[in-house]
Chain A
Amino acid sequence: MDTAKKRPFDEMQLANDAVRDIYALYAEWLRDVPLAQLESKRLEAELLFRRVGITFNVYGETAGAERLIPFDVIPRILAANEWSKLSDGAIQRVKALNMFLHDIYHDQEIIKAGIVPASVLTNTQYRPEMQGIDVPNNIYAHIAGIDIVRTGESEFYVLEDNLRTPSGVSYMLEDRKMMMRLFPDLFRRYSIAPVEHYPQVLLNNLRAVAQPGVTDPVVALMTPGAYNSAYFEHAFLAQQMGIELVEGQDLFVRDNAVYMRTTEGPRKVDVIYRRIDDDFIDPLAFKADSMLGVPGLLSVYQNGGVTLANAVGTGVADDKAIYIYVPEMIRYYLGEEPILANVPTYQLSKEDDLKYVLAHLPELVVKEVQGSGGYGMLVGPAATKAEIKEFTLRIVSNPSNYIAQPTLALSTCPTLVEQGLAPRHVDLRPFVLSGKAVTLVPGALCRVALRDGSLVVNSSQGGGTKDTWVLNHA
């Protein structure tokens, strides 16, 4: 494969340097804007973000150290028809994934049908505690972040599904607010679909999944606390939805119900939008030393006394080892062809795949099955010989812990960097909401790898964000 040497698809410019139609108005505007002005807008944005406290904690750095996620002032633009394909594809995927979760925690027909191997039940993300438990509307992943990358005009791939506690939606909303503030004239030139109603849609969905019989459900957002890397987002969403932002210590369990401690005494909570992993929600059921959870929460949940969003045990469907079966799930549950393709994936637990991967490491991306946030991965083309050697040892010692994928030439988007405007690789994470219906607002978190040539867009690895514009027309 020598595709890596070819110039990757660019969101703004075609191979012959002509500007893509949807960027035409932008390019025209950009011609009259000196670089220094863009730079000063970027600085202004940084100042505003810092003042508002839109900061991010990075694991492994001094506790409490706060950093900004770099914000890029050049938008990623998607045409209406591009968006409708992505949107349909993401909705289709989440529908199938929710059906898979319901199936796997009930009759396991998909295993009997021989489509997904029974080994899924030994996956650490499979929660036997959920077996036979009914959840309202059969919805498990109420909020799903689907990571999509592009390699050509009409070539989109799903890189991974995030069904546990996907984050980043606050950047979709804050980046938009910032762009409207910095460049109001651009919003007059373009007809851009609004995203600001996301919190309202989310709240309606959360209220819709209260247990049957609850009339005016009380919803709360549960955060691990102010030192969590995504705390800003938790606070932001709670505020936007007008619901309480609670920590484990604010909740307690009594008579098969969950209560908040308030200044006027206990108040019952019906739906918990929890931004805290399964392992930490209940020290009686999972990690006993977790200080973040609520003792007894799981048993109330199992008995239908409260709804958790997302449900416990969704990790079994977004695990990288399960990912490869998603296209088959779509066919099996929905009887449809997948609208969005998977990236071809090698499973290192299979001997043939392992052999191939070990021989081709310099051109592949290898990921830990349960890793997230860009930790524990090898990007072959960017790795040194020593790194590849070291990673080989890790793979050989536990092959089933890894999958590998070809290095995709992710599309690029012009980005403001030190040297001026330069193409940088981007991805896209739209957020699919399920509750009443399955929907998404026309927008997404767009992450950009700021280092030249880098394909890793994770914020924990120095990635930045861009506003994503979905146009109201083609």
Chain B
Amino acid sequence: MLSRTADHLYWMARYIERAENMARVLDVTANMSLITNPADQTESALWRPALQICGDVIAYDEAYGECTAANVIKFLTMDDNNPSSIYSTLRSARENARAVRVAMTSETWESINTLWLEFSQFIGADFSKSGLHEFCEWVKARSHLFRGVSFGTMLRDDSFRFLRLGSFIERADNTARILDVKYHILQPIDEETGGVDYYAWSAVLRSVSSFQAYQKVFRDTIDPKRVAEMMVLRNDMPRSLHACYEEIVSIVQQLSDRRPTECKRLSGQLLSSLRYGKMETIFEQGLHEFLGDFLRSNNRLGGEIQRTFFNAAEV
């Protein structure tokens, strides 16, 4: 298929996934702000992690300065100067889709076009006052719809593969960031004072839709190490790093069927560390270091995909 088409499909899927993850982080953070005792945590301490997960703290500080709920929400939802606000990512998704609408089924294209048309109802909304939860739910539902429609209607060809590849690369990145930021900030649960941290950890799980899964799997109180295990090593958790890389490796194999590529090697290497890794070892090494390495490798794979398939030389 055309390199440019593959490029657009890949990024379209990445942007949709990014918007969804952003919505998850925002929703959970806002929810936390209702539970947390304001005496314990300042507004800034509560909202800063959302900024750190979603990327550009420096750009935020330059534009807004003080870290308040209202400002962070604005920055991450509707700010068109912020390239990773939900507004900007959805717009980019739609622009990418529009450029290659031929390469997807008309249902898939319509799901994105409708998303963008519906978005206009939120323009001018102030989510720091009301409606943030509904908005986040809407973003998630639209992302689910897009995934479902593309999965349910598209031919299993390279178009589909590049689209899925984008989703999983982005999702792996987002899950790793959420865990890294939260783990860094949260303290291990204190046996006696427990309360707030219990909610904090359950919020982390909710941000990757794993709260119910956790309870089902462990039938136990929330233990940060197990939370990390859920999000890193468990293959049956659809947003875990391991699950993402099972998909990525299988897609990359199919895409580079007839030739050896660096993408194949990189993704395979990463998968084996997740498939055969042990949580104890990861904690010995330091979770933060592990996640930092992972994010860098995931990024490198992204760059390699770009180089191999999208910017291929003429010869």
Determine if B2 and A262 form an interchain contact, defined as CB atoms under 8 angstroms apart.
yes
Q: Is A308 an interface position by the 8 A CB rule?
A: no
A461 at the A/B interface (Cβ < 8 Å)? no
- Asked if A262 and B3 sit within 8 Å, CB to CB, the answer is yes
On whether the beta carbons of A226 and B2 are closer than 8 Å, the reply is: no
Of A75-83, A240-248, A435-443, the segment with at least 4 beta carbons within 8 Å of chain B is A240-248
Q: Which residues, 38 to 58 on A, are CB-close (under 8 Å) to B?
A: 50-53
Q: Which residues of B contact A235 (CB under 8 A)?
A: 101-102
Chain A residues within an 8 Å CB radius of B102: 235, 238-239, 245
- Provided the pairs A51-B113, A51-B114, A52-B110 are in contact, do residues A263 and B99 lie with their beta carbons within 8 angstroms? no
A51→B117 contact, CB < 8 A: yes
User: Which of B98, B99, B102, B110 is the most central at the interface, judged by chain A CB atoms within 10 Å of its CB?
Assistant: B102
Question: How many angstroms from the CA of A235 to the CA of B258 in the assembled complex?
Answer: 30
Give B101-142 as 1s and 0s: 1 = Cβ < 8 Å from A's Cβ atoms.
110001001100110010000000000000000000000000
A225 to B96 Cα, complex, angstroms: 12
Contacts of A249 in B (CB 8 A): 4
Q: Does A335 have its Cβ within 8 Å of any Cβ on chain B?
A: no
Among A244, A254, A261, point to the contact of B312 (Cβ < 8 A).
Answer: A261
- Chain B residues within an 8 Å CB radius of A266: 314-315
Considering the chains assembled together, what is the distance between the CA atoms of A265 and B308 in angstroms?
10
Across the interface, which residues of B come within 8 angstroms of A252, CB to CB?
314
**Are B114's CB and A261's CB within 8 A?**
no
Decide if B110 touches A263 in the complex (CB within 8 Å): no
- For chain A, residues 257 to 282, give those with C-beta under 8 angstroms from any C-beta of chain B: 259-266
Number of residue pairs A-B, CB distance < 8 angstroms: 63
Chain B, interface SS category:
helix
CB nearest neighbor in A for B309? A263
Digit string of B74-103 for contact with A (CB within 8 Å is 1, else 0)? 000000000000000000000100111110
CB contact under 8 A between A250 and B2, given known A226-B98, A261-B314: yes
For this complex, into which size category does the number of interface residues on chain A fall? 20 to 34
Please tell me if B280 contacts chain A, counting CB pairs below 8 Å: no
Contact indicator A263/B109 (Cβ below 8 Å): no
Chain B proximity of A397: nearest CB distance (Å)? 42
Q: Across the interface, which residues of B come within 8 angstroms of A259, CB to CB?
A: 314
Give per-residue flags for B1-33: 1 if the beta carbon is below 8 A from chain A beta carbons, else 0.
111111000000000000000000000000000
B266 at the interface (CB under 8 A from A): no
A200 to B198, CA, bound (A): 63
Closest chain-A Cβ to B91's Cβ sits at a distance in Å of 10
Q: Which residues of B contact A226 (CB under 8 A)?
A: 95, 98-99
> Are B4 and A261 closer than 8 Å at their CB atoms?
yes
Interface residues on B, range: 20 to 34
Q: Give Cα A239 to B100, complex, Å.
A: 10
Beyond A50-B117, A52-B113, whether A263 also contacts B6 by CB under 8 A is yes
Q: Which residue of A lies closest to B101 (CB)?
A: A235
Residue B189 at the chain A interface, CB threshold 8 Å:
no
Among residues of A, the one whose C-beta sits closest to the C-beta of B99 is: A226
Which A47-99 residues have a C-beta within 8 angstroms of B? 50-53
Partner of B2, one of A225, A231, A260: A260
- Does B158 lie at the interface of the complex (its beta carbon under 8 Å from any beta carbon of A)? yes
Judging by beta carbons under 8 Å apart, are B1 and A262 in contact? Answer: yes
Cβ–Cβ < 8 Å partners of B109 in chain A: 53
CB distance from B262 to the nearest CB of A (A): 15
How far is the CB of B295 from the nearest CB of chain A, in Å? 26
CB distance A263 to B3 under 8 Å? yes
In Å, the complex CA distance between A245 and B4 comes to: 10
Contact of B110 among A51, A231, A250 (CB under 8 A): A51
Q: Taking A51-B110, A52-B110, A53-B109 as contacts, is the C-beta distance between A263 and B117 under 8 angstroms?
A: no
Please report the C-alpha to C-alpha distance between residue A35 and residue B28 in the assembled complex, in whole angstroms: 50
Chain A residue at smallest Cβ distance from B113: A53
Considering the complex, give the chain A residue whose CB is closest to the CB of B162.
A263
A261 to B6, CA, bound (A): 11
Q: Which residues of A contact B1 (CB under 8 A)?
A: 244, 262-264
Q: What are the residues of chain B within 8 A of A52 when measuring CB–CB?
A: 106, 110, 113
Contact present for A263 and B158 (CB under 8 Å):
yes
- Give the complex CA separation of A250 and B103 in angstroms: 15
Residues of A within 8 A of B255 (CB): 263
A52 to B98, CA, bound (A): 11
- Give the Cβ gap from B1 to chain A, nearest Cβ, in Å: 5
Please encode chain B, from 300 to 315, with 1 for each CB lying within 8 Å of some chain A CB and 0 for all others: 0000000001101011
0/1 interface trace, chain B 218-247, chain A, CB 8 Å (1 if under):
000000000000000000000000000000
A259 to B313, CA, bound (A): 12
A-B contacts, 7 of them at CB < 8 A, read A239-B101, A239-B102, A244-B2, A249-B4, A261-B312, A263-B255, A266-B315
Beyond known contacts A51-B117, A261-B4, A261-B312: 11 more, CB 8 A cutoff: A51-B110, A51-B113, A226-B99, A235-B101, A238-B102, A244-B1, A244-B5, A261-B2, A262-B1, A262-B3, A263-B162
Query: Interface residues, chain B, CB within 8 Å of chain A?
Result: 1-6, 95, 98-102, 106, 109-110, 113-114, 117, 158, 162, 255, 258, 309-310, 312, 314-315
The 3 closest A-B pairs by CB, nearest first: A239-B102, A263-B309, A226-B99
